[in-house]
Amino acid sequence: MILTFDAAAETVVFSVGNFEPYHYEENGEVKGVFVETVGSVCERLDLTPRFIVYPWKRAIALVKSGEVDGIISVFHTEERAGFLYYCPEPFCYTRTAILSGKENDRRVRKLTDLKGTYLYQVRGTFYGPCYDKRKDIFKDIWICDNIEKQIQLLDKRPFHYAIANEMSFRAVSAKLGLKDRFRTVFVVNKNPLHVAFSKALGEKGRNYAEKFGVVLRQLREEGQVPKIAK
């Protein structure tokens, strides 16, 4: 699915994944608070944003190769910094959390308290170095193709665990009719989400990132950035 705003002097193509409530495809339309925010930034920069939805690994690969110009709501990693110019002003800070079924009352004070348990994670998703360094504590990690499958598995096995972006997990759970089935047992980290541009664009990519940072900050100071993206 492709979404394009009103015509302007120059078009910038963004690859995006299905990542509710930030950006997602619904009934053939690309929606979400970050789509709206990027549209507002581009309007001030006299740019036309074009959003194309891909599976996340494909979205990353396309911006790395320069087949698309930018990508939305991406974490900063050393590997990605090798091929991305990051907008210095983040969209928001997001929590990566461990969740379980409501009936699971196990108390978790630190990640290692989950040693020997079963965990669900989504294929190709980065959860931060804190998790990467300690994920061997789990007895088994089941890789899910998407967050919907992850949620459905946890609902069937509430004494297992899932690692996810907390807000996205809850938004999709509600959409699946499972809003009150889960609880957060531990917050792994809190990290910024960025828009970033391909280094394959050269100086144009660097300029996009810098200008986006300036305008996003202006919009935030003017109170025009939705609360979820602050």
Residues 29 and 102 in one domain: no
Residue 46: pLDDT above 70? Answer: yes
What is the tally of structural domains in the chain?
A: 2
User: What digits encode the pLDDT tens for the residues 165-211?
Assistant: 999 999 999 999 999 999 999 999 998 999 999 999 999 999 999 99
Distance CA 51, CA 143 (A): 27
What 3-state class would DSSP assign to 180? Answer: coil
Which domain range does residue 84 map to?
2-92+193-229
If asked whether residues 159 and 185 sit together in one domain, one would say yes
Report the percent of the chain where pLDDT is more than 90. 73
Supply 229's token pair.
């993206």
123 and 185 together in one domain: yes
Q: Is the four-CA dihedral 157, 161, 109, 134 of positive or negative sign?
A: positive
CB 52 within 8 A of CB 22: no
Write down the pLDDT at residue 31.
86
Q: DSSP letter string over 23-79?
A: BEEETTEEE-HHHHHHHHHHHHTTEEEEEEE--HHHHHHHHHHTSSSEEEEE---HH
